[in-house]
Every structure is written in structure tokens, then in C-alpha cells.
């Protein structure tokens, strides 16, 4: 049987998500293929409860930042609100209804947020 040079790890729970470019875990990526900016530049702040068991989450979308800067901004927003949260796929989620506080904090940091979803 011939070995294929393109063959790689098919599935593993060891490293989590794998980078398609360098086939390393995303946290240790050497090619920075995951540094693609996903935001469109229009910062939208909204509150969601769908799929969360009735608990509300403040969602910030559209930030035109790379992954590292987005993680730092998420940390600043969580600290300002005094609650937990996460950064997933270019979206910052803050636990609880903190839309006004998040908009105020984003304005102080130089962004121009818009309220979305009522």
C-alpha cells in the first residue's frame, strides 16, 4: 500500500480544532491561516435568548479585528460587565443583558456600535 503525502490526522480530540493550512492545533498554528478578519466593520450589539434555556446573552458581531485583538476586546468587555462570556467565530458573547454597558464600553474604546434586534 502506498503512503500518501497529503494524508493526515482524520480525527482526534487531543488538540481540538486543527488548522487546515499547517495541520497543527489552532492554538499553536504556525501559518496564521485563522487570522482572517470575519467582521464587516459595522459593530452590532444585541441580546439573544434563543437556544440558551431562556438565559439572555449579549452578542457583539461585526468587529473587524483579528483573533488575538478580538480575544482581548472580549476580555475587556467581560471585565467591564463583571460577568463571563466567550469569543466564538468572530462573535463576542457576554452572559446576561448588558447591551447598554457594552455599547458604552465599545464607544470609549473607539468603536461605533449600533443596537440591533430592538
For the stretch 67-112, pLDDT in tens is 888 899 999 999 999 999 999 888 999 999 999 999 999 999 888 8
Q: CA-CA distances (angstroms) from residue 11 to 7, 16, 101?
A: 12, 9, 41
pLDDT at 1 over 60: no
Residue 11 has pLDDT above 80, yes or no: no
Q: What is the pTM of this model?
A: 0.66
Q: What is the mean pLDDT of the chain?
A: 81
Check pLDDT > 90 for residue 29: no
Full set of structural domains in the chain with CATH? 35-115 (3.30.780.10)
- Residue 79 near residue 108 (C-beta atoms within 8 A): no
Site of grid cell 457576554: 94
Residue 28 has pLDDT above 80, yes or no: no
Amino acid at each position: 500500500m502506498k503512503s500518501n503525502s497529503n494524508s493526515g490526522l482524520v480525527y482526534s480530540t487531543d488538540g481540538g480544532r486543527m488548522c487546515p493550512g499547517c495541520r497543527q492545533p489552532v492554538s499553536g498554528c504556525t501559518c496564521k491561516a485563522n487570522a482572517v478578519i470575519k467582521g464587516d466593520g459595522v459593530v452590532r450589539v444585541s441580546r439573544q435568548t434563543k437556544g440558551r434555556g431562556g438565559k439572555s446573552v449579549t452578542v457583539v458581531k461585526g468587529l473587524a479585528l483579528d483573533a488575538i485583538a478580538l480575544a482581548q476586546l472580549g476580555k475587556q468587555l467581560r471585565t467591564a460587565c463583571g460577568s463571563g462570556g466567550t469569543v466564538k467565530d468572530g462573535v463576542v458573547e457576554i452572559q446576561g443583558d448588558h447591551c447598554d454597558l457594552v455599547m458604552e464600553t465599545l464607544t470609549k474604546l473607539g468603536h461605533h456600535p449600533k443596537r440591533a434586534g430592538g
